[in-house]
Amino acid sequence: MNLGIPEQEILKRVENFASSKVRDRASEIDESSSFPTDLIDEMGRIGVFSTYIPKEYGGLGFSLSALMESIRIISRECASTSLIPDVTVSLFGEPILKYGSEPLKKKYLSRIARGTIGALAITEPGAGSDAAGIKTTAIRKGDGYIINGGKTFITNGGEAKFFLASAVTSPEKKHHGITLFALDKEMSGLSVGNEFKKMGIRGTSTTEVLMDDVEVGEEQMVGELNEGFKIEMDTLNVGRIGIASQAIGISEGAIRDVINYGNDFKINRKEGAMFKLADMINMLHSSVSKYNESIGLVEAGRDTTLLSSLSKLQAGDSAVKITSDAVEILGHRAMSQEYPTERRYREAKITQIYEGTNEIQRLIIAREILKIGGPKF
């Protein structure tokens, strides 16, 4: 990962913010399931939201590495706080940047760069892994569309000012008949429904997003008509690297707990703990290698489908194992909420589920390998 001096400066700022502000707040955010508004405002000020947004749209114009490393650093302290900018920039901002019209880029990207929150709304009660099975429709009316349907489990749902929502525009074309629309919270007919209580990342709001005769102009379409599914898959290729960065940060936090508290309790020199620690480092190293490689491919403009799935699978499964082992090493202490380790264990689980479950990542990996006739590493 080649980071320029200004990028390194930003990451120092993020590190300082994470250790001085986020670390102390993480357990209270988790216990109260409260959205960390003050931390979001500060991330807007120090540049977490703006790193990856090009200068012409009000951002800093830094590389994807700078954004991903910011997410990783914040995840070491609190996976809720890191997820909010991650989703905003990589799931809402990135597709607008790559596929949106010039007026849409002007309308949304500068606001995101300042810390306004966005969301990607694909999942529906009957369509999670099968993102092409959505029932939300966008019916042509005059110069625009009327959207009806309901999304569920949408990260940032409660606070987002903008949503990128998928809708069926040509039902007979199946996944080739889906289109993405950028929606503003204040649009008539758009509302936020039920908020879900969760086992982890409790400081993020995860809600239903309901659309009842939402009228949008054609200019709110992101990409071409019926191009939505392809854009979603492309967006998730970058999004999955964000989840890998989150999983790596959570793992690093758990390893830090083992080293610090394990030393305090004099359990780190026991052979069982040392074997587990060595396995944790081995898993973390594999996760970081794949994560770095996938970012390199994106930055070189190359296809990252295989590496993004490998990164998410490796980092997510490792995070669950690493945090579980950390709890075991620290024993009864880690079952207590006095220490952050049990929270990290609960935070790690989601990285195997969202942005495509790890079973779906395995399917993608196998398909990609069969397509090219075997591994070419």
First to last CA, the chain: 19
Distance between CA 363 and CA 309 in Å, rounded? 9
Which residues partner with 216 through β-bridges? 145
Q: Which is nearer to ligand FAD, 32 or 129 (CB)?
A: 129
Q: Shortest approach of ligand FAD to residue 252 CB, angstroms? A: 21
Q: Which is nearer to ligand FAD, 59 or 200 (CB)?
A: 200
Q: Which is nearer to ligand FAD, 247 or 350 (CB)?
A: 350
Ranked by CB distance to ligand FAD, the top (closest) residue is: 128
Q: Shortest approach of ligand FAD to residue 143 CB, angstroms? A: 28
Return residues touching ligand FAD (CB under 6 A). 87, 119-123, 128-129, 153-155, 198, 206, 350, 353-357, 359-360, 363
Q: Shortest approach of ligand FAD to residue 254 CB, angstroms? A: 20
Residue 56 catalytic?
no
Strand 162-168, strand 118-121: pairing: parallel
Active-site residue, from 102, 347, 355, 359: 355
> Tokens 């579980």 identify what position?
324
Q: Which is nearer to ligand FAD, 132 or 187 (CB)?
A: 132
Q: Shortest approach of ligand FAD to residue 332 CB, angstroms? A: 29
| Burial (CB count <10 Å: 0-12, 13-18, 19+), residue 122 | buried
CA dihedral 218, 220, 226, 229 (to 10 degrees): -170
Distance between CA 61 and CA 50 in Å, rounded? 8
| Burial (CB count <10 Å: 0-12, 13-18, 19+), residue 5 | exposed
Catalytic residues: 355
